[in-house]
Amino acid sequence: MSSQVLPLDAETKAAESPEHHREELRLWLRLLTCSTMIEGEIRRRLRERFDVTLPRFDLMAQLDKAPDGMTLSDLSRRMMVSNGNLTGLVERLAVSGHLDRRVSATDRRAQIISLTEAGRAEFRAMAAAHETWIAELFGDLSAKEQKDLMRLLARTKFSARNAMTGETV
């Protein structure tokens, strides 16, 4: 999988030489650092200026994009969090009046979750600030750098998805 093409006999291969992948590791740690730093700062600002947690913001962001509402399973898939996690999150936001739950007309197991008017208004205000913050945090990157990074992250997502579904290369 890359590296040298010198002929290694089966013996050598079977010996399972360590095969270091330090560069990939460094790449992953840097990606994680960026993500953690930015997420932490956004979390801090959301709490400070709007007294809201990041998970609640994220949940409302998903619902804002779905005017007709979504089921818990849809939310779970989109947000990449466990089902059980959402049960509690939705419960708390329903109690605080930010969202509505109604049983699906076609499937009595499922609930359709949607933002209330108040919830939507509150989210829109937060979203505007959030967008500004993100632009500020990425502010030093040129348009070209942003475009390149976007492409490389798309490739990364594809690569990871690939490695997760099936083939061990």
Chain contacts with a second copy (rule: CB under 8 A): 1-2, 18-28, 30-41, 80, 128, 131-132, 134-143, 145-146, 148-150, 152-164, 168-169
CB neighbours of residue 43 within 10 Å: 15
Q: Considering beta carbons, is residue 107 or 145 the nearer one to a second copy?
A: 145
Mapped onto helix, strand or coil, the DSSP state of residue 145 is helix
Q: Which two tokens stand for residue 64?
A: 């804002």
31 binds, among a second copy, DNA, none (CB under 5 to 8 A by kind): a second copy
32 binds, among DNA, a second copy, none (CB under 5 to 8 A by kind): a second copy
Spatial neighbors of 112 by CB under 8 A, at least 6 apart, are: 68, 69, 70, 71, 101, 102, 103, 104
85 binds, among DNA, a second copy, none (CB under 5 to 8 A by kind): DNA
Q: Considering beta carbons, is residue 2 or 106 the nearer one to DNA?
A: 106
53 binds, among DNA, a second copy, none (CB under 5 to 8 A by kind): DNA
Q: Considering beta carbons, is residue 80 or 143 the nearer one to DNA?
A: 80
Minimum distance between the CB of residue 126 and DNA, rounded to whole angstroms?
14
CB neighbours of residue 111 within 10 Å: 19
Minimum distance between the CB of residue 103 and a second copy, rounded to whole angstroms?
30
Q: Considering beta carbons, is residue 107 or 131 the nearer one to DNA?
A: 107
DSSP code for 139: T
Q: Which two tokens stand for residue 35?
A: 């993500």
Minimum distance between the CB of residue 18 and a second copy, rounded to whole angstroms?
8
87 binds, among a second copy, DNA, none (CB under 5 to 8 A by kind): DNA
Mapped onto helix, strand or coil, the DSSP state of residue 138 is coil
Distance between CA atoms of residues 47 and 54, nearest Å: 8
Residue with tokens 């619902």: 63
Q: Which two tokens stand for residue 129?
A: 């600030």
